[in-house]
Structure 1
Amino acid sequence: MPTLTPLQKRAARKARNHTDLDMNLVSLIDVFTILIFFLLSNSSEVDILPSTKSVRLPESTAEVAPQDTLVVVVSPEEIIVDGKTVARVADVQAAPTDLIAPLTAALQQQQATRRAVRAENAPLSQVVTIMGDQSIPYQLLRKVMTSCAQAGFSDVRFAVRQKVEKT
């Protein structure tokens, strides 16, 4: 067996201990950092109301964030609770009374399923948000609010779009 020089011995040791797995952790850490910042910036405290293309919300300068409540959508053609059409606007406007019976029944059914577990959350179970198109007449809005009050919802709120201030 030939004698190896110290340089050759060192090269042989390096080749023997060398593995083919070479992992660069710096780029992996960069990717995870970007991912964490992306997730943190996109998880906000704002609740998103259901979006319907047929409802154009009025604008407001209100800065209070919406809460998770039962939403009644009033479009120019129909009244919707929990994604289900409960009444047609033309039929409601033609009715002589201020009470919309199908809406009241749907709201009472929703309130029965939305009971608060904790006592401090009980007032939130009596809150309803009305997403009304900006062009609906006040008489229709009054009928919807009367039906909500008759169903036991003591706190009626209106959904609006936040007005963007131009600077």
Structure 2
Amino acid sequence: MKKSMRAKRMAKHRQRLNVVPKLNLVPLIDCFTLLIFFLLINYSADVEILHSDKSIKLPASISETAPGETVVITVSATDIIVSGQRVGSIADMMANTDSKFEPLETELKFLASRAAPLTEKEKAEGRPITILGDKAIPYEQLKKIMATCVAADYRNIALAVAHKEASNKVIGAGGKPASGG
């Protein structure tokens, strides 16, 4: 029996629908490999994340300079922590009338002894250190911590701050924004 053109066309169409498509995984694996390399390279940027607890409110700054990787001193309301290890309490530090805090100096000297030798630039500037403390820290506490850092040869001191955008207002005479025109 002879098939009509319509029957031939419908048979051909059904035959196309019954074929299971093949999925070629090689190009898919290549794409995922490139994506992984791209993410790894871009994710390993030169950004240091300073971990602080919720009780510490950092002061704000418009500085564009990113901090380098250093030893971090975290000053909470009750404790002084160096690189994640508690070295003493604020009460003990303030009870002592000495200009520096001995347990902090001991820990910093220990860390310096385990670190790589200083370069010529670091010998001139001192070892780098970052102080992460609440913006409401009394000046006397900050002064004693900084004096202890200097005594342990950590003279390149940075204070951690929260970044904020600079305002574009021009301040005129008298501290009021200048008028534009």
Q: Which residue of 1 aligns with 2:3?
A: none
Q: Distance in 2 between matches of 1:153 and 1:40?
A: 32
Distance 1:124 1:69 in 2: 14
- Aligned residue for 1:52, secondary structure, equals coil
Q: TM-score, normalization: structure 2?
A: 0.69
- 1:105 corresponds to 2:106: yes
Tell me if structure 1 keeps the 8 A contact 2:126–2:155: no
In the alignment, residue 75 of structure 1 is paired with which amino acid? S
The residue type equivalent to 1:153 in the other structure is Y
Whether 1:140 and 2:141 are equivalent positions in the alignment is: yes
Q: What TM-score do the two structures reach when normalised by structure 1?
A: 0.74
Q: Distance in 1 between matches of 2:34 and 2:95?
A: 60
Q: Secondary structure at the match of 1:157?
A: strand
SS in 2 for 1:54: coil
Distance (whole Å) between structure 2 residues aligned to residue 110 and residue 148 of structure 1: 12
Q: Once the 2 structures are TM-superposed, how far is the Cα of residue 22 of structure 1 from its aligned partner?
A: 6.9
Identity of aligned residues (%): 31
Q: Distance in 2 between matches of 1:138 and 1:28?
A: 58
**What amino acid is the match of 1:141?**
L
How far apart are residue 149 of structure 1 and its match? 0.8
CA contact (8 A) 1:129 1:159 kept: yes
State how many pairs are aligned.
147
**3-state DSSP class of the match of 1:29?**
helix
- Structure 2 residue matching 1:115: 3-state secondary structure: coil
Compared with structure 1, are the counterparts of its residues 119 and 146 closer, same or farther at alpha carbon in structure 2 (3 Å cutoff)? closer
Task: Tell me the equivalent position of 1:83.
Answer: 84
Q: Which residue of 2 aligns with 1:96?
A: 97
Letter in 1 for 2:45: S
Offset, 1:120:
6.0
Amino acid at match of 1:68: E
Q: Find the counterpart in structure 1 of residue 156 from structure 2.
A: 155
RMSD: 2.6
What are the Cα deviations for residues 85-110 of structure 1, in whole angstroms up to 9, with x where unaligned?
11111222232222111111111111
Partner of 1:48: 49
The Cα of 1:40 is off from its aligned counterpart by 2.9
- In structure 2, distance between residues paired with 1:115 and 1:123: 16
Question: 2:61: which partner in 1?
Answer: 60
* Cα deviation digits, residues 37-70 of structure 1 (max 9, x gap): 3223322111222333332221111111111111
In the other structure, the counterpart of 1:25 is 26
Q: Which moved more, 1:47-56 or 1:120-129?
A: 120-129
5+ residue gaps, structure 2, are: 1-21, 169-181
